[in-house]
Amino acid sequence: MTTNTLAASEFLYRLWTQGGHVDEIPSSLRPDNVSDAYEIQALLENSSGAAVFGWKLAATSKAGQEHINVDGPLIGRIPADRALPDGSIYTALDNNVMRVAELEFAFRFGTDIKPRARAWTVTEALETVESLHPAIELPDSRYRRYETVGAAQLIADNACAHYFVLGPAAPSGWRTTDLAEHQPWGIVDGQRFRQGHGRNVLGDPRVALVWFLNEAARYSIEVRAGEVVTTGTCLIPIPISHGSVVSGDFGDLGTVSVRVA
């Protein structure tokens, strides 16, 4: 850890806690590469004092990557104090520059996972999973123009993590479901608004799970039993406004909802 890494983390943490936004991290503190960015992100976890509820993947679709000008997915941390139960009221819209909801497939791990050199397979990755959950992410960025700052600055800022809603565990039969072909509906105020598709998530949410485990190992990230990874939006994000109720109907896999205060 360098002095600049610590200072960059403290700078971003102040923005997190105060609801502030900037154009970029000051040039003297800006991470030069992805590895440095993940070090800054890890220090944000230490500053908050909150346990890690789980992990989020950003930009797991081509459209998402093009939108924020990156060439692949990014990992962020979900602090426990930003994880909301199903049906919760979300109260932090005013300072949110993104103002969208995303429907996601989330996997909860049943075992601790240490970084390893050997690449994970889909079969091995699924063996670490205890349950599958429908989920809603309510992302935000501390950058006013998050589309232009680049991967390193986005990762340092927790890959647009903000708030997260985890739905109930899907029935055990989810393991035989073709998640790539699953098509959840985004519902706003009781009306179907937009349909998603599992294949929008790196071709298959299970492939996104494998990508996460391999990338986590690359940057020496340890995963604990009980933590979740949410695999990125399966639909074009849904605009949200005060008073909206946003739900995800995942069919046989269950539902999840949040009310915007």
What confidence score (pLDDT) does residue 197 get?
A: 98
What confidence score (pLDDT) does residue 88 get?
A: 98
Helix (H) or strand (E) holding 187: strand 185-188
What confidence score (pLDDT) does residue 83 get?
A: 97
Q: Is residue 45 part of a domain?
A: no
User: Has residue 2 got a pLDDT over 80?
Assistant: no
Q: Give the alpha-carbon dihedral of 119, 124, 125, 129, to 10 degrees.
A: -160
What confidence score (pLDDT) does residue 1 get?
A: 64
Q: Is residue 34 part of a domain?
A: no
Q: Is residue 243 part of a domain?
A: yes
Please tell me the pTM assigned to this model: 0.96
Q: Is residue 101 part of a domain?
A: yes
Structurally, how many domains does the chain consist of?
1
Once rounded to an integer, what is the mean pLDDT over residues 160-186?
97
Q: Is residue 126 part of a domain?
A: yes
Distances (CA, A) of 56 to 135, 189, 211, 212, 241: 11, 26, 12, 9, 23
Nearest to 219 by CA among 16, 41, 69, 31: 41
CATH number, residue 131: 3.90.850.10
Nearest to 165 by CA among 109, 242, 82, 108: 82
Once rounded to an integer, what is the mean pLDDT over residues 227-236?
98
192: helix, coil or strand?
strand
Under 8 Å between Cβ of 53 and 80: yes
Question: What angle (nearest 5°) sits at the alpha carbon of residue 176, between those of residues 201 and 84?
Answer: 55
Chain position carrying tokens 């393991």: 175
Q: Is residue 73 part of a domain?
A: yes
User: Has residue 240 got a pLDDT over 90?
Assistant: yes
In this structure, are strands 83-85 and 163-166 parallel, antiparallel, or unpaired? parallel
Q: Is residue 32 part of a domain?
A: no
What confidence score (pLDDT) does residue 110 get?
A: 98
Rg (CA), the chain: 17
What sections of 84-150 are H helices per DSSP?
A: 122-127
Q: pLDDT tens across 17-76, in order?
A: 999 999 999 999 999 999 999 999 999 888 888 899 999 999 999 999 999 999 999 999
Q: Is residue 11 part of a domain?
A: no
| Residue 105, domain extent | 51-260
Distance, in Å, from the CA atom of 181 to the CA atom of 243, rounded to the nearest integer, reads 32
What confidence score (pLDDT) does residue 48 get?
A: 80
Q: pLDDT tens across 125-172, in order?
A: 999 999 999 999 999 999 999 999 999 999 999 999 999 999 999 999
Share of the chain above pLDDT 70, in %: 100
Share of the chain above pLDDT 90, in %: 95
Once rounded to an integer, what is the mean pLDDT over residues 14-19?
92
